[in-house]
Structures are given as C-alpha cells and as structure tokens.
Structure 1
Amino acid sequence: MTTKSVRPGGLARFFIERRNTRLAALLFFILLAANIWLNPARFMPHNWGSVLGLAAPLLLASLAMTIPFLAGRGSIDVSVGPLMGLINVIIVKGLIMAAGVTSPLIIVPAALLIGLASGALNGFLAAILRIQPIVATLGTYLIYAGLALTVLPSPSGSVPAWLAALAGPWSILPVGLAVLLWLLVKRLPYYDLLMATGSDDRAAYTSGVDVPAVRFVAYLLAGVFASLAALSLTALIGSGDPNIGPGYTLIAIAAVALGGVGLAGGVGGMTAAFLGAADIFLLQSMLTAFNVSTFVLQMAYGAVLVLAVCLNSEKLKHLFKARAVPR
C-alpha cells in the first residue's frame, strides 16, 4: 500500500515555496487590516481602481529596481526615480505643451523609447565598461535630475483625459502590461541566464553565459519598467513636476529589500517587488491617516530599509540557525 504525499495549496504553498517573501506577505495582511480598520471606505471594492492608481508608480518603480539586482555582483539602478521625473517633464512640457501632442500612439512609445535609451546607457556603463553600477547610475541619476529641472524648472502643465484615466480604474493597464512583460521574460531562456548570473556569475561565465550581455539586458528591462512607472506617475499627478521623481529611488529600494529580493542577486522577482511596494504603500497610507509629517515618513522608509536588509542578511540567518540547533 503506497502513501501519497499531500501538497499544500493556496497561501500555505506560497509561504513554503517563497521563503524570502514570508515577512513581506505577513506584513501585507497586517497593514491591509489596519488600513481597512482606519479607513474602510477607501478600500471598498469600488475604490480599488483608485487605490491601484495611487500605488502603481511605486509598484512599477520597484519592479524596475528589482531587475538589475537579480543580475548580481552589485548591479543596481539608482537612476530609476529621476528617470521617471525626466520622462514626466518631457511628456508634459516637450510633447503636450510645446508640440501639442496628446495621442497615446505617440506619448506611450516616446516614454518607452526614453526608458530603453536610459537602460542602454546604464547597461553600457555598468555591464560593458564595468564601471561600478552604483557610481554609473548615480551619475545618470544626477544627469536626469538636472535635465528634468532644465526642461521644466517648476511644476506646471496638464495631461489629456486618457492619461489622467490611468490614475483610476484604468491604472490596471500599465500594471497589467508590466505583469505580462515579466511573465514573458520568465518564459524565455534569458530568465534562467539572469538568475544563474545573479546567483554565481563566475560559474555562469565558465558555463558559457555572456554575463555582460545578460546584465546589459537587465538594465534595458529596468528602463522599460521605469517608463511605465513614469506614465503612471504622470497620470497620478496630472502635470509635470521635476522634483517628484527622485524620491521614488529610496522608496523603491526599501520596497525591494522588504519584499525579499536578494540585493546580492539571483533571488526574488515580480511577486517580491510588488509585495514590498504594497507594504510601503500601506504603511504610508496608515501613517498619513495619523497626520504624520513627511519627515517621519522619510525616517520610516529608512528604518524599513535597514530592517529589511538586516532580516535578509545571510549572516543573521546563519546566526539564528546556529542558536536554534539543540546542543
């Protein structure tokens, strides 16, 4: 008589298979319950589209930040936030205000092309020239921030109705496009190469993997997801603002770390990025309900980042395992 092993399903299977996201998933349910208790009307089903519109820029920025991290060996793109701001002002000032262009057939491809160009630049600097990624993308961070202020020194302008609608129920479009793109990437051989490179780039290289090319493509993907985040951000604020983009860099890094993405590479993905971003968004929403100042919010983001990095530290995990072993 043979016995069949029973495989857990639903949430139990999720927690078993995704160990690095357990903390983020648990925190998500706690923060969601707290937010529903504090402001039940905001989280009613008919408001879900608006809530997604508010969270969409952070969700997509976190996904953009995740891809380079997966490539390992210190790969990071701190220019994601300023790139969002630069695309925002180019759309509003350069296309809508100056050229009178309002068609999505022009605005959306233009945003994606700018994101691809940024990804190519960062990838060339970090993956091909092998400049330290933090230094290379910090340089583009400053360039994009300066360009945004040059194009549009102060907040102004407005967006067409179709773009503003992306801050409401139609916010599912940029987020859904990002999800579909990620699922497509996961079905390609490139995904296995990316995770192998992030886990051990030397072993991947000796196996014949073109490590610089894998990392270059990771930056390209980061640029694409950042452009989708910029479209969501533009829809959310309804105007051009050169100062709002850079703030997303720190928040996105905190979200990625909290979600369980391995900052050393090879661990994590879209689920981890979205969970971490959702946690940050819900934490922000809860603190805002208590009329907490922006300074306290900044401290909260920093505390979350430090706590998440510590909890995901391999040394700390080994320490807890060593103490858990009975003597």
Structure 2
Amino acid sequence: MTAIATSQPTRRASALTAIWRQTGFAPILFVILLAINIVINPARFAPGAWGTLIGLAAPLVGAAIASAPAILGGRGGIDISVGPIMGFVNAIVVLVLVQKLGLTSPLIVVGAAVLIGAAIGALNGFLATILRIQPIVATLGTYLLLVGTTLTILPAPTGTVPAWLKSLGGPLSILPLGAVFLIWIGIRRLPYYDHLMAVGSDDRAAYTAGIPVTLVRFLSYVITGVFAGVAGLMMTALIGSADPSIGPTYTLIAISAVALGGVSLAGGRGGLLGAAIGAIDIFLLQSALTYFNFSTFVLQIAYGAILVIAIVLTALQDRWLGRVRGVS
C-alpha cells in the first residue's frame, strides 16, 4: 500500500514535468495574461466574443505551429520564410485562383495552398539539408524571393474571397487549426517523429543509430511549408482579401511564440501545443497593449523582449531538467 501511495505522487510529478518540458512557462503566462485582459476589457473577452477572438488569433497560432517542425529538427533550423509563404499563398489564392481563373472550390483552393507550401518547404529543405546552406541564410533567400514575387504580382491590396473561406475567419477557424493538429498527431504516431526529435537532440548520435538525418530534416521543412500554406489560408480568411504586406509581419512574432512555448531553438524538445500556447500569449499581450493605446514600436520592443526572455527561460529549464535527470 505504501509503495502504491508513494508512486501516485511520483507519477503526477512525472506528468507535470513532461507537460512543462513540452510547453515551458507558456501556460502560466497564459493564465496571467488572460486574467489581465478579462479585468481591463471584460466585454472583449466575454464568452460570447471568444469565437471572434479565436478567428483573430488563428493566423498567428498557425504561423507559430508552422515554424515549429523545422526548429525541432535542430541544427539551427529556423525557417524565417513562414510569413512570406503565408503572404504568397494569400496572393495566389485571391489574385490567381479566385479573380483570374474563377476557381473557388474548397478542394482546389486548399489543395493549391498545401502544394505551394510543400513546394517552398521542399526548396528550403533542399537548400538547408542537401546543399548544407545555413538554414537562416537559405530561408532568408526564400523570404526575399517570396516577398519580391508577391509584391510584383500584387502591388496593392485587392480582391475578395469565397464565402466558405471568409467563414473560416471567425469561430470556424478552429477547423483548419484542428486539421493541422490532427496531422501532427498522426505524425507523432509514426517512427518519423522519434527520428525528428532524436535528430534535433543529437544528430551525430542519430546518424550512428542508422537514422537518415538528411531525409528527416528535409521532411521537417516540407511539413513546415505545408502548415505555413494552411496558415496562409487562415490569414486570407481573416482579412477577406489579398494584401502583400501582412504575411511577412508574422515571421518574427511566430518564432518568438515558438520560443515562448517551450520549444528549444536548438531543436529536439517541445511541440506544437507549446508553440500554439506561446502564440496565444503573444496575442493576449497584443490585446492588452493595444487597449492602452501603445504604439506599434512598443509592440516591437515587446516582441524582442519576449524572444530574449523565452530563450533565457528555456536555458534555465534545460539546466533544471538536466539536474533532475542527473539526480534520478
């Protein structure tokens, strides 16, 4: 009886440690920021307005989720082209598919967004894993290419979106987010997920164990591209048109959200849930600062501070977990 009684607290502690390992300090910050927003702006955060809030936060959550797989693969796999992919998908869907070709079928629009994202992700993966260009340099090149192409074909905001896509800009934005998480749950059930985390943690040990390191990392960029394509659709649903300037603004905020959500920028630790909670934290911080009429410059300072603090907290978390493993 004593052994059973003592094992239950141990299991709870292990479960809490596992959750903390996946999400970092993001859940605690979520509770604090949500409480602050409810106090200062109760009408905006009333239960009846949650659907609208979900729609507003969805593109940022999608961008953060999209940024995570490449980072989990390690070796500095920060893909800074996620935002421009979203903007490029937005331009192609509205300007080319809807306006010029008159194609509004969900199957065609969603398929095109996913294929565009996968193709750009494959390009990033080829540059970063096969040609072995530093990931941040490779994806910077893609960033500039996509921003320039988007501005060339779409110099100014224009167009409208189909009604079914517009409807995904509110409470129904939970559907594409749910689809992304279902895909990730499926990936987690595959050997690939364990390979990805092993490669992110220690690629030399993974290679010695017979894991195809290059292929695993390449596929992580493809997954990031696919998720970025879906995030581009969520952004399109929110703004209801094509706008060449919005997509790139999500890039650095998404990376900050990933770091805040307990995903190690060195790779091999964290997950999509933590990235999503980190994105919600940033959205809540945006809402609080906007309520007090802080300028966009203050928001930029806040994003930079969040990124630095998140990295510091992750480092402290790594040290603590290392001590726990050493004691055990």
TM range (shorter): over 0.9
Give structure 1 regions of 4+ aligned residues with deviation exceeding 6 angstroms. Answer: 9-13
Q: Distance in 1 between matches of 2:20 and 2:148?
A: 41
- How much does 1:161 deviate? 1.0
Aligned position for 1:193: 195
* TM-aligned CA distance change 1:13 to 1:43, over 3 Å: farther
Aligned position for 2:186: 184
SS at 1:88 equivalent: helix
Aligned position for 2:262: 260
Aligned position for 1:311: 313
**2:5 counterpart of 1:25:** no
Aligned position for 2:326: none
Alignment of 1:96-175 (within 5 A): 96-175=98-177
Contact 2:61-2:279 within 8 A present in 1 as well:
yes
Q: Distance in 2 between matches of 1:192 and 1:299?
A: 37
Aligned position for 1:7: 8
Alignment-mate amino acid for residue 236 of structure 1:
L
Contact 2:24-2:317 within 8 A present in 1 as well:
no
- How much does 1:2 deviate? 4.5
Aligned position for 2:290: 288
- How much does 1:181 deviate? 0.6
- How much does 1:211 deviate? 0.3
Contact 1:49-1:172 within 8 A present in 2 as well:
no
1:60-109 C-alpha deviation (Å, 9 max, x unpaired): 11111110111011112110001100100111111111112222121110
SS at 2:247 equivalent: coil
* TM-aligned CA distance change 1:118 to 1:101, over 3 Å: same
1:228-250 C-alpha deviation (Å, 9 max, x unpaired): 11000001111101110111111
* TM-aligned CA distance change 1:53 to 1:185, over 3 Å: same
TM-score normalised by L of structure 1:
0.93
Q: Larger deviation: 135-144 or 6-15?
A: 6-15
Aligned position for 1:16: 17
Aligned position for 1:67: 69
1:197-231 C-alpha deviation (Å, 9 max, x unpaired): 00100000011111000001000100111011100
Aligned position for 1:57: 59
Alignment-mate amino acid for residue 108 of structure 2:
I
Alignment-mate amino acid for residue 173 of structure 1:
L
Q: Distance in 2 between matches of 1:315 and 1:176?
A: 29
Alignment-mate amino acid for residue 16 of structure 1:
T
Contact 1:310-1:316 within 8 A present in 2 as well:
no
SS at 1:91 equivalent: helix
Q: Distance in 2 between matches of 1:272 and 1:24?
A: 7
1:141-195 C-alpha deviation (Å, 9 max, x unpaired): 0000001101100111111111111011211111010110110010011000000
Q: Distance in 1 between matches of 2:237 and 2:114?
A: 15
Counterpart among 85, 88, 101 of residue 87 in structure 2: 85
Q: Distance in 1 between matches of 2:61 and 2:11?
A: 23
- How much does 1:57 deviate? 0.7
Alignment-mate amino acid for residue 52 of structure 2:
S
- How much does 1:16 deviate? 2.6
Counterpart among 89, 94, 97 of residue 96 in structure 2: 94
Aligned position for 2:274: 272
Q: Distance in 1 between matches of 2:2 and 2:9?
A: 19
List gaps (5 residues or longer) in structure 1.
322-327
Q: Distance in 1 between matches of 2:262 and 2:33?
A: 17
SS at 1:179 equivalent: helix
Q: Distance in 1 between matches of 2:258 and 2:99?
A: 35
Alignment-mate amino acid for residue 19 of structure 1:
W
